[in-house]
Amino acid sequence: MSFKKFLERTGAVTLLNVLMQLRGLLYLPVLSKIWGTFYYGVWSQVTVTLGVFLPFVALGIPTAMNRFLPIKKGRELSKGFYSAFLVMFLSSIFVGALILIFSSSLAAYFFGGAAQAVVVKIITLLLASLVLNHSIAALLQAKRRIKLYTSISTVQLIIETVGVIAMVLFNFAIVPVLLFLVATKIVIFAAVWLFWVLPEIGISYPQFSIMKKYLKFGVPTIFAGFGYWLLNVGDRYVIAFFKGASDVGIYSVAYKTGAILLLVIYAIYFVLFPTLSKLRDEKQFNEIKKYVARIFKLFIIFSLPAFFGLLALSHPIIRSISTIEFASKSGLVAPIVSLGILFYGIFLLYALVILAENKTKLYAKILLLGAAINLILNLWLVPIYGIEAAAWTTLFSFLLIAILAYYFAPNYCKTKMKFVYMLKSFIASLLMYFAISLFNLQYVRWYGVLAVVALGALVYLFFVWLLRVFDKKEQQFIFSLLAAITSKFSR
């Protein structure tokens, strides 16, 4: 796959991630206003519970599918998919049975009372339906059918969003809304299986002997996922314990503002991992090195202006999406986190190469070590210095795991650091910072803030061009990519 096609696919997945974030913004005012605090809380608890159980149900198999299926063809591909799918589905039935047995207790302790036991029981159906969707998504990702994946996901996103909002507006309770989501996921799975999976790979009996390799690869990623969760969410619990819920709310808004580039980073991960896996199996080490070098440069070029932009505009941005209280008490959380996201992106880049080498235990150890240090530093510093200390510990932890990932990554993916373009990007970012700092945005509304953000982006791009951050070949590549994207949207 050419790097141009890689960037096109990354852009498509990034757009999908943005739409998914917008769905949450659409749900919030409708569900909270009509259902009230209690049932909106139950809805939120369902979402959190699915996020907790799903990695354990999936057993890390979707990641393993992305590692081993890209080079498979014909009967091997078919057996690999159906074996992985069946193991995940049986796992969801087992976990679902446990949830059913303890549904009354779970409802009483975590969902506002035993009367919500039916909601807990529906979670078992949601888990099974999510496994169906994730198995299809992993197959599409492994075979790099990103356009089809984003099309299916967008259709499903629209159906679910419009359906949920319409049902709530027509005063449907939470149970039928959750059942609608289950039905939608099952119908989407059935349609994709019938019209794409069946013609593409056919149907075959599972071969459970191959699952030993999948589980050996996948299970450690569950612990890695826990480490990632602790790195990104654990600080909220420490802040809640020592500082209270108000500080958690302020920190969460500022953190999300600073972590906006995660939408792009996750898209890169989604597209890049099966590509690196295929190149590794084909022993195309020079191609891997080129991918790593180009994406490293993109991380630097996009992350530095994000840091300087938030250094100047974080308070106006936070004020425009929340309130003055959130902005005034957020300190430097957003820009500090944005710098941390740069290091997290570098970590993920080299971690994907480590995963392509099947070293999932090493990947898990790095994340768990970073999470442990992050937790210890938070317990020490947050009681003394407050939420800004949590941002600094996040930055340090992301820097640490980036260094460890680079150190343990195979030598064939490491490139010499070219500090010239880093310095040029730093200068362009600094000039952009001075330009947007000239505006007094204390009483400006959201559209004024958005206009200054757009102006800052233009200023940065101008200086990037003036300082020749990209060489002639890279400029030609960017212009051809933009032309290709424009022609696609104009059709």
What local confidence, expressed as pLDDT, does residue 453 receive?
A: 85
Q: Do 248 and 181 belong together in one domain?
A: no
- Assess if residue 126 is contained within a domain: yes
Does 80 share its domain with 128? yes
Residue 336, pLDDT above cutoff 50: yes
Instruction: With a cut of 90, say whether residue 294 has pLDDT above it.
Output: no
Does residue 460 share a domain with residue 348? Answer: yes
CB within 8 Å of 282: residues ≥ 6 apart: 71
For residues 110 and 153, is the Cβ–Cβ distance under 8 A? Answer: no
How far apart (Å, rounded) are the C-alpha atoms in residues 422 and 374? 28
Higher pLDDT, 475 or 202: 202
Residue 207 and residue 359 in contact, taking contact as beta carbons nearer than 8 Å = no
How high is the pLDDT of residue 378?
A: 92
**What string of DSSP letters covers 425-436?**
HHHHHHHHHHHH
**334 found inside a domain:** yes
Whether 213 is covered by a domain: the verdict is: no
For residue 432, pLDDT beyond 50? yes
Domain count for the chain, please give it: 2
Which residues are within 8 A (CB) of 181 and not within 5 positions of it... i.e. 6 or more apart?
A: 126, 129, 160, 163, 164
Range with the lowest mean pLDDT among 36-45, 193-202, 462-471?
36-45
The model's pTM is: 0.76
Task: Report the alpha-carbon distance of residue 449 to residue 457 in Å, rounded.
Answer: 12
Residue 431, pLDDT score:
92
Looking at every residue in the chain, the average pLDDT score rounds to 82
Residues 317 and 408 placed together within one structural domain of the fold: yes
pLDDT in the model for residue 474: 66
Cα separation values, 337 from 252, 392, 398, Å: 11, 8, 10
Asked if residue 243 and residue 158 are part of one domain, the reply reads no
Chosen domain end from 150, 181, 206 = 206
Q: What was the pLDDT predicted at 488? A: 47
Whether residues 249 and 144 fall in one domain: no
Q: Looking at this protein, which amino acid is placed at residue 485?
A: I
User: In the chain, pLDDT over 70 holds for what percent of residues?
Assistant: 89
Q: Quick one: 387 and 247 in the same domain?
A: yes
From 206, 233, 265, the end of a domain falls on 206
Q: Which residues contact 376 (CB under 8 A, 6 or more apart)?
A: none
* pLDDT-derived band at 9, boundaries 50, 70, 90: low
Residue 215 lies in a domain: no
d(CA 344, CA 397): 9
pLDDT for residue 59: 86
Q: Is residue 211 part of a domain?
A: no
Taking the C-alpha atoms of residue 151 and residue 452, their distance in angstroms, rounded to an integer, is: 33
Radius of gyration of the chain (CA): 23
Q: How many CB atoms lie within 10 A of CB 217?
A: 21
Last residue of a domain, one of 175, 206, 237: 206
The yes-or-no verdict on residue 54 having pLDDT over 70 is yes
Predicted pLDDT of residue 479: 61
Q: Do 164 and 311 have their domain in common?
A: no
Structural domain includes residue 182: yes
Residue 175: which domain range? Answer: 1-206
- pLDDT for residue 146 is more than 70: yes
- Based on the domain organization, do 18 and 157 belong to the same domain? yes
Do the Cβ atoms of 26 and 165 come closer than 8 Å? Answer: yes
Give the lowest-confidence range in 77-81, 157-161, 396-400.
77-81
**354 & 416 share domain:** yes
Asked if the model's pLDDT at residue 354 lies above 70, the reply is yes
Is the Cβ–Cβ distance between 264 and 348 less than 8 Å?
A: no
Q: Which alpha helices (DSSP H) does 59-110 contain, by range?
A: 61-68, 74-101, 103-110
pLDDT in tens, 457-488: 899 889 888 888 877 766 665 665 555 545 54
Taken in order 9, 14, 20, 26, the sign of the CA dihedral is negative
Supply the pLDDT for residue 253: 75
| pLDDT, tens only, 206-261 | 888 888 888 888 888 888 878 887 887 778 778 877 887 677 777 877 887 887 77
Q: What is the pLDDT of residue 373?
A: 94
Residue scoring higher pLDDT (238 or 418): 238
Candidates 221, 259, 253; CA nearest to 236 is 253
DSSP state letters, 286-354: HHHHHHHHHHHHHHHHHHHHHHHHHHHHHHHHHHHHS-HHHHHH-TTHHHHHHHHHHHHHHHHHHHHHH
Same domain, 292 and 187: no
pLDDT of 30 reads: 75
> Residue range 258-286: average pLDDT?
79
- Asked if 404 and 354 count as a contact pair (C-beta separation under 8 A), the reply is no
| pLDDT of 205 | 81
Tell me which residue has tokens 């339906």.
Answer: 129
**What per-residue confidence (pLDDT) applies to 115?**
76
338 and 191 inside one domain: no
Q: Which of 256-265, 286-295, 297-306 has the lowest average pLDDT?
A: 256-265
